[in-house]
Amino acid sequence: MPNLNFSRREFSAAFTKSLALAFAAPALPSLFDARHRHPVPAGAIRLNFNENPYGPSPKAAAVLNSCASLTSRYPEDSLLELTDAIAQKYSLTRDNIALGCGSTEILRVADVTFLDSGKQVVAADPTFEAVLEYARAMRANAVKIPLTSDYRHDLPRMAAACTSKTGVLYICNPNNPTGTLVTRDEMAACLQAVPPTTLVLVDEAYNDFIADPSYSSALEFIPKYPNVLVARTFSKIYGMAGMRLGYAIGAKEQIARISAQLLQDNCNAAVVGAGLASLSDHANIVSCRDRLVASRSWLCAALTRDGRTFIPSHANFVMIDMGSDVQPFIDQFKAKNILVGRRFASMPNFMRVTIGTQPETEAFVAALRQIAPTGSSKAA
């Protein structure tokens, strides 16, 4: 947990640094700036942000429905309780866990802690942009390494790009937006090659959807490589995207460093209570996973029957090759009140679609066959 026993001098220095960074940040548009987002049309099928359409555990919903008694108190006790519950899940201690307002806060504080104007971040292209966006605000340099020919992280090239100036190596596994996997052996080889001064930030937001035996969470590498930090979230399998709750797992030294950059009481009491309830509801996790994986399999089978090219996914979304720039297709889906993922500059012909409920997924395929017929649209 964050050390809140700052001296006046320490607080003043930290505040001065934060203020300087705020004024130094370039005034550039960000994908994460709410001012650049658009209202969701009424009744839209939302397949654009990789959310869990089934929502949170009924146990979590019950906590939220009875949270009035929590609103007048700071969440200190509940923060400790959730931290301890997560630590217990992984046979760790609370010193190995840091809670965040979504895993994006974890990614931000990792940048703030390990980057400055003289450092660089190495990441795949494309990948989830949060770390790159926050690095830009820090005036750090971004080194983007293209994906391999099969749309996977090129870890040998990424590791080779890491130097004494590399503050953060970011690995999203499975990768967003491609859904592809870094295997255990690939991760092990990469960690051997990366300088120990570089933070290896592994984003495992979609970890719960993986069934491939070649995969292993980066958690297993932390004892040998204390420069590894794993980010997890309650936004995906737990269905809590709108409630903003995530966490980091790492060696005590790294957790202490990033915790110093977190806001005090950064998670509200109701959400923390819902998180605790979600952790205990294993049956709901299995149910959500099974339904989403079944719909993903159904979608991929339909795409195959239609003769479409797509990237096999280990997450709750699929990237489909539309054969030409996707923006007109995105606009046509929106006209049908179906929202799909945005255009990715380095993969402009690929459209990312989130796995929705089975009826939502079927509606997407029906619309796809109208918007971009292939001539082979057999009944799925």
What are the pLDDT digits (tens) for 190-211? 999 999 999 999 999 999 999 9
Q: What is the mean pLDDT of residues 243-268?
A: 95
Q: In sequence order, what are the residues at sequence separation of 6 or more whose Cβ sits closer than 8 angstroms to the Cβ of residue 65?
A: none
Fold of 58-280: Aspartate Aminotransferase; domain 2 (3.40.640)
Around Cβ 250, how many Cβ atoms within 10 Å?
A: 30
pLDDT band at 79 (very low <50, low <70, confident <90, very high): very high
Residue, of 77 and 14, whose pLDDT is higher: 77
Q: Max Cα separation, the chain?
A: 71
pLDDT, tens digit, 9 for 90 and up, residues 225-239 = 999 999 999 999 999
Instruction: Give the chain as a 3 state SS string.
Output: CCCCCCCHHHHHHHHHHHHHHHHHCCCCCCCCCHHHCCCCCCCCEEECCCCCCCCCCHHHHHHHHCCHHHCCCCCHHHHHHHHHHHHHHCCCCHHHEEEECCHHHHHHHHHHHHCCCCCEEEEEECCCCHHHHHHHHCCCEEEEEECCCCCCCCHHHHHHCCCCCEEEEEEECCCCCCCCCCCHHHHHHHHHHCCCCCEEEEECCCHHHCCCCCCCCHHHHCCCCCCEEEEEECCCCCCCHHHCCEEEEECHHHHHHHHCCCCCCCCCHHHHHHHHHHHHCHHHHHHHHHHHHHHHHHHHHHHHHCCCEEECCCCCEEEEECCCCCHHHHHHHHHCCEEECCCCCCCCCEEEEECCCHHHHHHHHHHHHHHCCCCCCCCC
- The owner of tokens 């869990």 is 52
- Contact criterion met (CB below 8 Å) for 128 and 203: yes
Q: How many residues does the chain have?
A: 380
Q: What is the mean pLDDT of residues 41-67?
A: 91
Cα separation of 45 and 336, whole Å? 9
> What are the sequence ranges of the domains in the chain?
58-280, 283-371
The closest alpha carbon to 1, from 77, 113, 60, 104, belongs to 77
Q: Given this model, what pLDDT does residue 375 score?
A: 55
Q: What is the pTM of this model?
A: 0.89
pLDDT band at 17 (very low <50, low <70, confident <90, very high): very low
pLDDT band at 22 (very low <50, low <70, confident <90, very high): very low
- Asked whether the predicted pLDDT for residue 58 surpasses 70, the reply is yes
Residue 122 identity: V
CATH of domain 283-371: 3.90.1150.10
- Asked whether the predicted pLDDT for residue 63 surpasses 90, the reply is no
- Asked whether the predicted pLDDT for residue 329 surpasses 50, the reply is yes
Cα separation of 70 and 64, whole Å? 10
pLDDT, tens digit, 9 for 90 and up, residues 101-137 = 999 999 999 999 999 888 999 999 999 999 999 999 8
